[in-house]
Chain A
């Protein structure tokens, strides 16, 4: 079992649908992240939950809504998405000590918006 598990691995949804991506980390870390990976673009940090604090990238549209019920679980709720939101969404976790912390990634959820 990998340290960071994401489900589903593949998701196809219409623009009017509501769906959620789920992430679970088994590493005992105190921080979790959502990154968006689009073709030929740098990985984009979307949200960070660390030490019960949420930090977000202000450029992320409100149609993406994160939820972190506890330190092991992270959700990304999706509603009324656009085709340009199709991408690989990566969940990650780390143990916050300093900026040298290693971030551990899941295998990602491939999202296609039709």
Chain B
């Protein structure tokens, strides 16, 4: 079985400050890792994903994430946030062990303040 833990339910941050949203996973097999964003009243949109290769993955809107196998983490970062980044962020894992879908974390609400 696989699981995803997002350690922070809410992260308040001031505009133009850096931010890190934490994600840890557990799985008995190799995994693929994803970050999705959900803006108010919208569905989820893919930010970035890790498949293999370089452990630093760059996504849309200036976000990046680093895969750390030894710490089973996939933290999301942005060096300078904007008001428009206010949204819910979900980490997800797929282990392709017969399941054809993602397991999601409970989400982190990023609140960017002026």
- Residues of chain A whose beta carbon lies under 8 Å from any beta carbon of chain B: 4, 31, 33, 40-43, 45, 48, 50, 55, 90, 92, 94, 96, 98-108
Contact = CB atoms under 8 A, between A and B. Distances in A.
Given A42-B104, A42-B105, A90-B44, 7 more contacts: A40-B9, A43-B90, A96-B100, A100-B94, A102-B46, A105-B43, A107-B41
B96 interface: yes
Interface residues of B, number: 27
Chain B contact residues: helix, strand, loop or mixed: loop
B106 interface: yes
B9 to A, nearest CB: 7
Nearest to A43: B104
B101 interface: yes
B100 A48 contact: yes
B91 to A, nearest CB: 10
Interface of B: 4, 9, 31-32, 34, 36, 41-46, 49, 51, 90, 94-96, 99-107
